[in-house]
Amino acid sequence: MILKLDSKRIQLARQAEQTVHVRFRMYKAKKRWLIAGAALLFIPAFFQPGHEVKADTSSPQTQVTATSQAAEPATSQSVVTSDQATTSSNAVNATNSGEAVKASSAASAASSQTSSSSAAQTLTSQAAVPEQTTDASQVASATSAQVASGSGAAQSAAAADQAAAQAATASETAASSAASSQASSAQQSASSQAQQVATAAAQPTVTANTATADATVDGLTYSFDETTKTATVTGHDSGATLTDINIGPTVSYNGQAYTVTAIQDVAFFNLSNLTSLHVASTVTTIGASAFAYSKFTGGITVDNAAVIGKEAFAGVNASAITLNGARNIGESSFAYATITGAVSVAGPATIGQNAFYGLKAESLTLDDEVANIGEAAFAYETINDTINVAGSAMIGKNAFYGTKATSLTLGGKATTLAETAFGYARITNVTVDAATISNQAFFHLFTDNLMFGPDVQTITGGAFQFIQNMKDLPNINGQDNPGNQIPTLTIPANISVIDGSAFYGSKLGTVAIADNSRLTTLGFQAFAFSSATAINLPDSLEQIGDQAFYGGHLIQVAFGPNLQTIGDLAFTEFGPLQNVDFSRATALESIGDSAFAYNTINNAIVLPPNLKTIKNAAFVGNKIPALTLNDGLQTIGDSAFGYNKIQNGLAVPDSVTAIGKYAFVYNSISNLTLGTGLQTIGQEAFEANIILNALPSLQFKCNTLTTRP
């Protein structure tokens, strides 16, 4: 009988197992559709900032890693192990597999909710599962642990309740009493876990912090750090009358001394009726907008500050500003400040972008330890008296752009002047002592007096392009009257190179170069389009570059004994130049293309003894009445002396080997002597002259010849 009962039980168990397998297959198919639908709902949550989504090619599932930018307390963090969070889609042979599937589904649902509500945990779904069935209570417990690490109490409790509900469903459909018992246990465990989670989440997180405390001392509010024994000024007592602000090196509180090291952002923002401010040397940081738009009747003194924050003193009113030892003066920190007295910056400071933009003050002094001046740091400032920049290694782009002042002294330590550092500034008297001045540093400067100190060696890169006198003449269509001129520009002895459009388009009267000058080079467009009418070229000058005085207004020019070359178009002025003196140019060897073209030179020209080459069109289009070619001259280029008024005789020395085409066209030469070394005479070289003497060739047609060979 016992055997029959056992056999019957075995048959029933097998039938139950087959039923479970069938139901499981149906459930598995249904689960795939549910997972697909859930994925559509939860995919947007995965693609939030801070989430990294990785596809696992070995599994149809997707591994989602959530990374939180905010650190959670260690006690609230939960790591889901593979034994707790592993669910199965292949548990065909597991005992009580129906319960396992449903409990696993509950854990997956809770895990999905937790993933979308918290970015502080890592969830991993894998395909493998152990042969022994994972207890439903363990899965629910793991789910509750995951939920507990979430950020919302309501979401956590709901997730745990869902796990418990699905575990209860598992118990109702179990094929055996053992499975039912396990499901019931899982339900109780999950419900207990959910209650614990809800209770824990409802309690606020309290972090004990004994390191800081706040208090008011002598009308100022402080934040005290008990660990470092330091204090930060956070503001003032709104109920007290605040006039003089004196932030000392230490403050006492509860019998303990604290070192004052910082002033908080906007601590004294937009206050009125203040007298003065003193910040002790212990304060290393002044926060952003700390004193912005406040009004002081007295001065502001900051003894030392590693950092003065952005707009810390923007728009303040005061009688003076003294910064002693500031290291980093932040962006716009004193922008639009109005100071009735002096502004002084001392120490190894780096002055940030727009730091003093729009400043109004009586005077400005930057000592020789100021390292760098940032872009537009003092742009559009108005200084009633003097600006003294003792020496900043780097003066940034537009640093003093549009500045107005009575005088400027730029010391010798300035090694780099960035583009338009003083562009469009209006400064009555300017003294510059930087070794190299370049990058259009003083582009369109308005000044009455420009002087150079003893350290200046090179002026290049359009440094003084378009400079002019600053007299207040009426504007025409928004542009300054072009007649403004600086009467005299003095170039001291120490300057050796003027190059790269240095004074291009400058409004100058006379350029006076020191007699003992070391100037060796006037480079490309050095004074091109300048209005200077006179210049004394020094004996030290060796090279005059291409277009050096192109389009200029010089009336006469004399060359010294060390000049070797005159570049192309160097003195092409289209009219004004009338007199050229080569009598002392004993070292001159070459005159470039169109070097003196289209002027009104009307004096007799005697070329110097060492000249070897006269290039194309060198003197074309002038009014030269007589010409003496030197022995040693070798070549005369095309049109070199064409369209002049050379009269009477012309002797070509024996050293000349070639005369270019049209070289002497349209002159009034009546007597021509050709040297024995001549090898080439170009086409129509002497066309349209009145040569009367016999010539050996028909090369000179259109002349009146008495004898033909």
Q: How is the chain split into domains, by residue range? A: 84-117+129-203
500, 525 contact by CB (below 8 A) = yes
Residue 573, C-beta contacts closer than 8 angstroms, at least 6 positions apart: 549, 550, 551, 552, 553, 554, 598, 599
Strands 497-498, 458-459: pairing is parallel
Residue 32 DSSP SS3: helix
- Interatomic CA distance for residues 104 and 150, integer angstroms: 20
Tokens 């889609």 belong to residue: 89
Structure tokens at 180: 């039912």
Query: Which residues of the chain are modeled with pLDDT < 70?
Result: 1-213, 471-483, 695-709
Residue 253 Cα distances to 223, 229, 231, 244, 486, angstroms? 11, 11, 10, 21, 65
Sign of CA dihedral 529, 532, 536, 540: negative
The H or E element that residue 361 is part of is: strand 360-361
Residue 387 Cα distances to 343, 354, 397, angstroms? 10, 17, 18
Backbone angles phi, psi at 102, to 5 degrees: -70, -40
Sign of CA dihedral 300, 345, 395, 470: positive
Residue 647, C-beta contacts closer than 8 angstroms, at least 6 positions apart: 625, 626, 667, 668, 669, 670
Q: Residue 148, Cβ neighbours under 10 Å: how many?
A: 24
Instruction: Please give the pLDDT value at position 32.
Output: 62
The predicted model scores a pTM of: 0.66
Per residue in 222-248, pLDDT tens? 999 999 999 999 999 888 788 999 999
416, 394 contact by CB (below 8 A) = yes
- Interatomic CA distance for residues 623 and 550, integer angstroms: 19
Instruction: Please give the pLDDT value at position 17.
Output: 59
- Interatomic CA distance for residues 665 and 379, integer angstroms: 57
Side-chain half-sphere of 684: how many Cα atoms within 13 Å?
Answer: 10
Tokens 């401010």 belong to residue: 277
306, 281 contact by CB (below 8 A) = no
Instruction: Please give the pLDDT value at position 483.
Output: 56
Structure tokens at 197: 């989670």
With both helix axes pointing from N to C terminus, report the angle between 97-117 and 153-172 in degrees, rounded to the nearest 10.
Answer: 170
Kindly calculate the radius of gyration of the chain based on its CA atoms and give it in whole angstroms: 46
Structure tokens at 379: 């742009």
- Interatomic CA distance for residues 95 and 52, integer angstroms: 37
